[in-house]
Structure 1
Amino acid sequence: MSDPFPDEVDEALWDEACRRAEAVREFLKHRPGKMTAADVALLATEVETSRATAYRLIKLFRAGGTVMSLVDRKRGRPEGHRVLDDKREEIIRTTINRHYLTRNRPTVSQLVRDVQTNCISAGLKRPHRRTIKARLEEIEPQRRAKRRGETEIVKQTQAVPGVFAASRPLQVVQVDHTKADIFVVDEETRQPIGRPWLTLAMDVCSRMVTGFYLTMDAPSRLSTRGVAP
């Protein structure tokens, strides 16, 4: 399986990989020759990992020399991946719609028993309780509450009517942050450093951009104060 491109990597994993790359780069710069176990232990403390992992990061960086080589690969089953066959998935879906999403408000335990009983009757292996609950949690909360007649939950999940508006320019200015859809590279090594943060100040009345701030640092109160008109 080929490695993902930088824009396909989770932002949190990418930011952590950039931090690790900087630490390993500085570590190797000051230790061109042999390194001691104590040196590696210091690196492990800096990147908040075990000494064995620190050795692995050094090896990966020496072999690849890129931030991408240090991206932590997520373990376990890919998000959204399902292991049940279509027949059992259909039984779970049908049982939820016919027996759980009703005004009688049966419990989750009752739903689990019904699903497992229906699977056994069809000659299929019964799914685990966690799997059934996971399918249940995929249902939009407001839809589930309406079908079950849970009025309090419906009220809590409904949007509050009304609008937020301003009657004149600069009466209200909103500030928001986003990561720019570009990668900044080192001017010498041409290796990717990361994606910059863009902070925009937007006038609510005119919907015009009144200022912006571009930085490699994560959003903070300094990002708001530094917005340039």
Structure 2
Amino acid sequence: MNDPFPNEVDEVLWDEACRRAEAIRGFLIRQSGKVIAGDMALLAAELDVSRATAFRLIKLFRAGGTVMSLVERKPGRPDGRRMLDNRREEIIRISIKRCYLNKNRPGVSQLVRDIQTNCVSAGLKPPHRRTIEARLEDIDLQKRAKRRGEAEVVKRTTAVPGALAASRPLQIVQVDHTKADIFVVDEETRLPIGRPWLTLAMYVCSRMVTGFYLTMEAPSRLSTSLCLLHSVFDKSPWLRESARSSNRGRLPVCLRHCMSITAATLGVVLSRGGVRMPA
């Protein structure tokens, strides 16, 4: 199973991993020789974990060297991991193909009995009913319905022919909302506030954005109205302000966010230098 990317990690878990990485990095810099029990106890108290957990986190950080190595993983079995051996998986696969995916439409209970009987005959421990049901859920719903002759399900899962098309600009304008892939923090405490919502208006003919609205509030009539207002109003003042901001040497918000995540992951400290004139 692949590890998630930094921007896919929950905000709270990412902030805690950054805090742990900073504390452990400082601890390792201060420790030039053998680790003293008292220093380890102080680190454990700072991380709010037991000393055993502190040792484990140091080992993970030394092995990985990044913030991602300290992100807390969800306990239990990882999603998508299968625990059955290949022989039982093969019996389940063949039984589903031969006995379940056909026009006779046998029930799940009949399938479970067939699989368990085949496993016992092969000298294997029969799988649980929930395991077999999980394998059925992995099959594409439309494919399963076609093989079993379930016309109503096939009809519901088939895409309707046609497309939303426009022959001229501004004939059709679509408005949609999405959470921006950035994290807003408090100016003083630097604690995360949340991710803002981005509302975009674009016309279908060329997919050009005609206006947008950025807010911390959830999508509503107000955000849609302000987005449409930005679409139809003159943008000259807004463009002049954007040009002044870019002339101050500011990076786009999304680029600053990507740089901060990359720096935190690799343990790089970002420091902003002053504005200088070329020689």
Correspondence list, 1:45-124, <5 A: 76-124=76-124
Deviation per residue, 1:1-36 (Å, 9 max, x gap): xxx8863335xxx5xx69xxxxxxxxxxxxxxxxxx
Equivalent residue, structure 2, for 1:181: 181
Distance change (3 Å), C-alpha of 1:213 and 1:90: same
Equivalent residue, structure 2, for 1:48: none
The structural deviation recorded for 1:73 is: 7.4
The structural deviation recorded for 1:150 is: 1.9
Distance change (3 Å), C-alpha of 1:85 and 1:218: farther
CA distance in structure 1 between the aligned counterparts of 2:142 and 2:102, rounded to whole angstroms: 14
CA distance in structure 2 between the aligned counterparts of 1:166 and 1:113, rounded to whole angstroms: 55
Matched, 1:209 2:209: yes
The structural deviation recorded for 1:89 is: 1.7
Distance change (3 Å), C-alpha of 1:224 and 1:158: same
Q: Secondary structure in 2 aligned to 1:226? A: helix
Distance change (3 Å), C-alpha of 1:188 and 1:5: farther
Deviation per residue, 1:170-215 (Å, 9 max, x gap): 2221111122222222222223322222111011123210111111
Q: TM-score, normalised by structure 1?
A: 0.66
Q: Secondary structure in 2 aligned to 1:174? A: strand
Equivalent residue, structure 1, for 2:271: none
CA distance in structure 1 between the aligned counterparts of 2:8 and 2:160, rounded to whole angstroms: 36
Structure with higher helix content: 2
The structural deviation recorded for 1:109 is: 0.9
Equivalent residue, structure 1, for 2:166: 166
Q: Secondary structure in 2 aligned to 1:223? A: helix
CA distance in structure 2 between the aligned counterparts of 1:121 and 1:101, rounded to whole angstroms: 22
Matched, 1:127 2:89: no
User: What amino acid sits opposite 2:136 in the alignment?
Assistant: L
Aligned residues: 176
Q: TM-score, normalised by structure 2?
A: 0.55
Deviation per residue, 1:113-161 (Å, 9 max, x gap): 1111111112111111111111101111110111112222212211111
User: What amino acid sits opposite 1:183 in the alignment?
Assistant: F
Which moved further from structure 2: 73-82 or 139-148? Answer: 73-82
CA distance in structure 2 between the aligned counterparts of 1:119 and 1:218, rounded to whole angstroms: 52
Query: Which runs of no fewer than 5 residues in structure 2 stay unpaired?
Result: 14-44, 50-70, 232-279
Q: Secondary structure in 2 aligned to 1:132? A: helix
Distance change (3 Å), C-alpha of 1:220 and 1:78: farther
CA distance in structure 2 between the aligned counterparts of 1:103 and 1:109, rounded to whole angstroms: 17
Q: Secondary structure in 1 aligned to 2:116? A: helix
